[in-house]
Structure 1
Amino acid sequence: MSFASPSRPWDVHRLPSAEGRTFLVTGGNAGIGYFVAEQLAATGAVVVLGSRDAAKADAAMSSIHSRVPGARLRHLQLDLASLSSVSSAVDGLGLDHLDAVVYNAGVALDAPPRRETEDGHELMFGTNHLGHFALTRQLAPLLSAAPAGRVVTVGSFAARSERLDLDDPQSTRDYRPKRTYGRSKLAQMSFGFALDRRLRAVGSTVLSVVAHPGGALDSLTPSRPPVRVTTPAERLRALPAGLVVQGKDAGAWPVVRAVLDPEVRGGQLWGPRRFGLRGMPWNEHVPSHMADPTVADRLWAISGELTGTDPHLGFR
Structure 2
Amino acid sequence: MLDSVRSTRLRRSTTAAALLTCAALLAGCTSDSGDTSAKSSTAGAKRPAPKPTPTWDPRPDSIASVGDSITRGFDACSVLSDCPEVSWSTGTDMASLAQRLLPDPTRRSWNYAKTGAVVADLPAQLRSATAQRPELVTVMIGANDACQDTVAQMTPAADFRTQFASSLSDLRRALPKTQVYVASVPDLKRLWSEGRKDPVRRQVWKLGICPSMLRDAQSTHERANDRREQVNHRVQEYNAALRDVCAKDVLCRYDGAVHAYRFTGDELSQWDWFHPSKEGQQKLASLAYTEITRRDDA
* TM norm structure 1: 0.43
The structure with the largest alpha-carbon Rg is 2
More helix by proportion, 1 or 2? 2
**Larger relative contact order (CA 8 Å, sep ≥ 6):** 2
More strand by proportion, 1 or 2? 1
